[in-house]
């Protein structure tokens, strides 16, 4: 990535994402949303969408704007759409959260907030997809690298999730009465959740990890058959989930009842994908050239363990027929243990890395500069990552045990750990940990906290 142009708005995406993460965790500590109220309650939907759109989607969008050009060795296309996409996502999410609050009876505005959200959020994701697909398309006729194929699949899943979410928003607003006449919610809601959490958030995160782990650990990044298996099996599993309802109708015509067959195949293929992903992870860690594993790569192991535990929990719930009773615990472990855990661990390296490029890249080779790892202090931060993952596991156990009071205590622990990690990222942006003699050599400029430098 040395010499690569920095995406001007990536840090703004990251900053907004972290604010939504902290806000969602504060609401959980306060007992707002699930498990104090049902999973389908408007209060729960506020917290869920602060996490999935506000935190995870903004995080991934910001990361992809920076790393897709790296993946394909091409400059970001249509870069002028990055800021409009950001504003559409923020405005759409604001309308969505306000719409849910209005449904909960918190206030009454008379404004079609959910309709606005159903227009702005898909617009934001479509602008994002346009920029990223245009960049990916620029490599033709060459084949996309494996991480880029993961990203492309994840972007398609994001668009499908956004369209289904818009339909739900219109349904809740009463603007599409035709949807109220069919069993749209029971048929489309599982697809919305599975494709969003499993496709857009998880599949894209897997693809990003295929680039970041080898880059930061100096591990071999040559495409392997196991990686292709992860992509193919995962992509087909997502396709089966997306088409589960029409496939079920087709199977019923030939004598098979219900959507169990395509769903079972999707679960099986998903497990195959996870097994081979685990094989690749072990390969990266064992064959790294950097013998000392930095904190971002060590803490990522907690996210990978959470992903494995999520798969085991899913199988256990399916085997016992209790998935509907404990789906909240499963979603919490996936969302906070796997995706959020991976996001925080990689931000711990990405933010200092981009800060270093922004500040010291112009003087590299001409002036003495600090190392990237000098921008953080790993010794004091490892405890926060340990606390975070232990609290997520405890919170999952509290949800399984249906102990809301204990869950709030564990949520407070995750909030504390998150605040400490975010504080470290702010210190890294401000160059606080760099020795004064090396902090700002001639020609280097202190980067702005999250807004781009004025051109």
Contact 73, 5 (CB under 8 A): no
Q: What is the pLDDT of residues 415-427, one digit of tens each?
A: 999 999 999 999 9
Report the DSSP beta bridge partners of residue 364.
367
Does residue 303 surpass a pLDDT of 90?
A: yes
Q: In this model, does residue 3 exceed pLDDT 50?
A: no
Q: Could you give the 3-state DSSP secondary structure of residue 446?
A: coil
Cα separation of the two ends of the chain: 22
pLDDT at 418: 97
For residues 370 and 363, what is the distance between their CA atoms, to the nearest angstrom?
Answer: 11
Q: Give every CB contact of residue 48 below 8 A, 6+ residues apart in sequence.
A: 33
CB 347 within 8 A of CB 355: no
Q: In this structure, how many other beta carbons lie within 10 angstroms of the beta carbon of residue 446? A: 13
Band of residue 179 on the pLDDT scale cut at 50, 70, 90: low
451's torsion region: left (phi>0), alpha (psi -120 to 50) or beta?
beta
Tokens standing for residue 143: 């084949």
CA atoms within 13 A on the CB side of 236: 16
pTM of this prediction exceeds 0.85: yes
Q: What rounded mean pLDDT belongs to the chain?
A: 89
Domain extent listing, the chain:
1-181, 296-450
- The pLDDT tens digits of the residues spanning 182-208 come to 666 677 888 898 999 999 999 999 999
247 pLDDT band, cuts 50/70/90, is: low
- Compute the distance between CA of residue 111 and CA of residue 109 in angstroms, rounded to an integer: 5
DSSP secondary structure, 36-57, as one string = TS-TTSHHHHHHHHIIIIIIII
What's the pLDDT score for residue 290? 83
Asked if pLDDT for residue 2 goes beyond 90, the answer is no
The distance of Cα 185 from the centroid of its chain, to the nearest Å, equals 24
For the cut 60, the answer to whether the pLDDT of residue 455 exceeds it is: no
Write out the E strands in 238-279: none
126-159 tens-digit pLDDT: 999 999 999 999 888 778 899 999 999 999 999 9
pLDDT of 258: 52
Distance in angstroms (rounded) separating the CA atoms of residues 357 and 363: 10
Could you give the CA distance from residue 443 to residue 453 in angstroms, rounded to a whole number? 15
Query: Among 76-90, 142-156, 253-267, which is the least confidently predicted range?
Result: 253-267
* Average pLDDT rounded to a whole number, residues 270-277: 95
Checking if the pLDDT of 388 tops 80, the result is yes
């Amino acid at each position: 990535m040395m010499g690569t142009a920095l995406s001007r708005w990536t840090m703004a995406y990251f900053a907004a994402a972290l604010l939504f993460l902290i806000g969602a965790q504060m609401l959980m500590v306060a007992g707002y949303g699930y498990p104090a109220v049902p999973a389908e309650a408007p209060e729960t939907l506020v917290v869920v969408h602060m996490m999935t759109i506000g935190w995870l989607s903004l995080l991934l969008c910001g990361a992809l704007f920076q790393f897709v050009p790296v993946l394909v060795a091409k400059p970001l296309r249509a870069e002028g759409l990055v800021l409009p996409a950001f504003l559409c996502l923020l405005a759409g999410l604001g309308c969505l959260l306000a719409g849910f609050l209005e449904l909960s009876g918190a206030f009454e505005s008379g404004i079609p907030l959910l309709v606005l959200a159903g227009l702005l959020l898909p617009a934001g994701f479509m602008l994002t997809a346009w920029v990223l697909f245009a960049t990916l398309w620029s490599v033709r006729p060459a084949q996309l690298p494996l991480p880029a194929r993961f990203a492309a699949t994840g972007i398609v899943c994001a668009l499908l999730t956004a369209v289904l979410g818009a339909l739900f928003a219109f349904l809740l607003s009463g603007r599409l009465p035709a949807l109220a006449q069919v069993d749209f919610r029971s048929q489309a809601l599982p697809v919305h959740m599975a494709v969003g959490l499993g496709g857009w958030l998880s599949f894209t995160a897997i693809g990003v990890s295929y680039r970041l782990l080898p880059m930061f650990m100096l591990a071999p990044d040559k495409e392997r058959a196991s990686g292709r298996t992860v992509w193919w099996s995962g992509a087909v599993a997502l396709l089966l989930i997306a088409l589960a309802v029409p496939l079920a109708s087709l199977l019923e015509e030939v004598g098979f009842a219900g959507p169990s067959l395509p769903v079972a195949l999707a679960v099986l293929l998903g497990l195959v994908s996870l097994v081979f992903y685990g094989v690749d992870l072990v390969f990266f860690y064992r064959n790294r050239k950097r013998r000392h594993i930095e904190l971002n790569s060590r803490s990522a192991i907690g996210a990978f363990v959470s992903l494995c535990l999520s798969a085991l929990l899913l199988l256990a719930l399916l085997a016992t027929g209790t998935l509907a009773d404990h789906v909240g615990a499963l979603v919490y472990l996936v969302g906070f243990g796997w995706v959020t855990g991976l996001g925080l661990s990689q931000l711990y390296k990405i933010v200092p890395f981009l800060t270093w490029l922004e500040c010291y890249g112009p003087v590299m080779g001409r002036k003495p500069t600090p190392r990237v790892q000098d921008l953080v202090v790993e010794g004091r931060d490892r405890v926060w990552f340990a606390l975070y993952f232990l609290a997520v596991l405890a919170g999952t156990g509290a949800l399984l045990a249906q102990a809301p009071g204990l869950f709030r205590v564990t949520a407070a622990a995750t909030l504390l750990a998150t605040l400490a990690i975010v504080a470290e990222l702010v210190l890294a942006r401000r160059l606080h940990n760099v020795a004064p003699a090396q902090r700002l050599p001639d020609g280097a400029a202190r980067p702005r906290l999250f807004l781009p430098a004025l051109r």
